[in-house]
Each structure stands twice: as C-alpha cells, then as structure tokens.
Amino acid sequence: MGESGANDRYAHSDVAERSRREKAVALARYFWDRGIDSGELATMPAATRRKLARAADLNPPSTDETWTVVAGLLDEKDAWAAGRAEETRPHRDEKILWVKPPVRPW
C-alpha cells in the first residue's frame, strides 16, 4: 500500500478525529468571542475562513467536515447562552473585520 493509503488510514483514525475536534473547539471559541455565528460562517468565502483560522493561530482545516463541527459547536453555544444573561464576548468589535454588515439602500 502506498503513501496515500497510509494518509487515508490516518484521516479516519481516532487520533485524527481527536485532532479535528480540538481544532474545531479552538475555532468555535475564537469565532464565538468575536460574535460570529454559524450562519455567517456558512456564507463566508473559503478564503476568509482560512484567514480567520490563521488569525486564531491555527492551520486552516483541510476538510468541510471540520467546518461543519465548528458550526455545530457555535449553534450549541448559542442555544446554551440563549437562556442566560448576556455572555461577554471579549473581541466582538473584531467581527466587522470578518463579517461585513449589510449595506442599507439610501
């Protein structure tokens, strides 16, 4: 079996799954702190998502599977926070760097 077979086995191993989960948690935390939700993440261009991951000091995920986990974690956190007092998001002012508000017509 060649090198691609070994890579494929790693991609589906417990170690790879744990690594993806840890990266997804770190990304979700970074996005949450900036007020970015799963809907905004879903409509964000791939290039912007990669830049965001790098801003979080992480290598960008190579698969959509990780981004899907990030979106799910953001939804879970939103649901958790909905019944509580306003959660502080220490870097919410940075959201505009990544998610532009809609332009209002005159």
Q: How far is CA 63 from CA 2, 22, 23, 38, 40, in A?
A: 22, 14, 12, 16, 18
Looking at residue 66, what is its pLDDT? Answer: 93
Q: How far is CA 95 from CA 1, 23, 38, 49, 58, in A?
A: 46, 20, 13, 13, 18
C-alpha span between 36 and 56 (Å, rounded): 13
Q: Which residues contact 11 (CB under 8 A, 6 or more apart)?
A: none
C-alpha span between 61 and 9 (Å, rounded): 18
pLDDT per position as a tens digit, 35-85: 999 999 999 999 999 999 999 999 999 889 899 999 999 999 988 888 776
